[in-house]
C-alpha cells in the first residue's frame, strides 16, 4: 500500500504518517502537499525509515524536466511521476538520479467523454497500452495506470517493470471522482505492484482497521 497524503496542511499530513507508519511504510506526496510543505515533508517521511512517492506528474520541455528531476536526487524519494510522453520520460531518465521514474499513462479520472475530446479512434485500454509500450521501450522504470489495464500490460510487456495503480477502492467504498477503479485484491491479481490508497483509509471510521482489512484481502489473494 502507498498511502496518499492528500492534505493541504503539512502538519496534518505528517500526523497521518506518525499514525500509520507502523502499518504502512510507503507514502505519496502529491502536488497539493508538496506546494504546501515542500522538501521538509519528504525528508520527515524518509527520516522515519519510510519510502516516498513524489507524485508531481511533471510535464514540460525536456530540458526543464531533466533539471527538475536532478533536484530529487538524495532526498529520500523512491518513485516519482512524469507524464507518459516520450521526450518527457527520456529527459527524466537522462537526469541519472537514484529515483525510479514512473510514467503516467492515462489518469484514472479519465473516461470515455475525455477520450472523445482527443479524437482518439481506439479505446482507453488501447491508449494506455500504446503509451506504456513507448515509455517502457525508452527504459522507463515503470508506469502508473488503472488496475483495469494492469493485466493487459503484464501480458504485453512482462514482469520487468514497476506498476503502480491508483483508483483502488475496497468493496463498498465510495468511488469519488475516479472512473476506472478496482478492489485491492483484483489489482494485485492483475499484476499491480503497489496500490495507491487515500480516501478509503483516511475517511474510514477506524483508519487502522481499514488498513488491516485491506491487508487481509491482499493476503487472501496472495
Which residues are annotated as catalytic? 57
Distance separating alpha carbons of residues 199 and 194, to the nearest angstrom:
16
Beta-carbon contacts of residue 111 (< 8 Å; ≥ 6 apart): 124, 179, 180
Determine which helix (DSSP H) or strand (DSSP E) holds 66, and give its type and residue range.
Answer: helix 62-70
Distance separating alpha carbons of residues 102 and 218, to the nearest angstrom:
23
Judged by DSSP in three states, 158 sits in: coil
Beta-carbon contacts of residue 206 (< 8 Å; ≥ 6 apart): none
Amino acid at each position: 500500500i502507498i498511502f496518499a497524503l492528500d492534505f493541504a496542511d503539512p502538519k496534518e499530513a505528517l500526523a497521518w504518517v506518525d499514525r500509520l507508519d507502523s502499518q504502512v511504510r510507503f507514502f505519496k506526496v502529491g502536488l497539493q502537499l508538496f506546494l504546501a510543505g515542500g522538501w521538509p515533508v519528504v525528508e520527515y517521511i524518509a527520516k522515519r525509515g519510510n519510502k516516498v512517492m513524489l507524485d508531481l506528474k511533471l510535464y514540460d520541455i525536456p530540458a526543464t524536466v531533466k533539471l527538475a528531476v536532478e533536484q530529487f536526487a538524495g532526498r529520500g524519494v523512491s518513485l516519482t511521476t512524469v507524464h507518459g510522453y516520450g521526450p518527457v520520460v527520456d529527459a527524466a531518465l537522462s537526469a541519472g538520479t537514484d529515483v525510479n521514474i514512473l510514467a503516467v499513462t492515462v489518469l484514472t479520472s479519465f473516461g470515455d467523454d475525455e477520450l472523445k475530446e482527443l479524437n482518439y479512434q481506439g479505446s482507453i485500454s488501447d491508449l494506455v497500452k500504446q503509451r506504456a509500450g513507448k515509455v517502457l521501450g525508452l527504459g522507463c522504470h515503470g508506469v502508473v495506470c488503472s488496475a483495469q489495464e494492469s493485466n493487459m500490460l503484464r501480458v504485453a510487456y512482462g514482469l520487468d517493470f514497476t506498476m503502480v495503480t491508483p483508483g483502488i477502492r475496497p468493496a463498498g467504498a465510495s468511488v469519488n471522482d475516479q472512473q476506472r477503479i478496482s478492489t485491492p485484491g483484483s489489482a494485485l491479481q492483475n499484476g499491480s505492484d503497489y496500490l495507491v490508497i487515500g480516501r478509503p483509509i483516511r475517511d474510514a471510521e477506524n483508519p487502522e482497521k481499514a488498513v488491516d482489512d485491506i491487508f487481509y484481502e491482499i493476503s487472501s489473494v496472495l
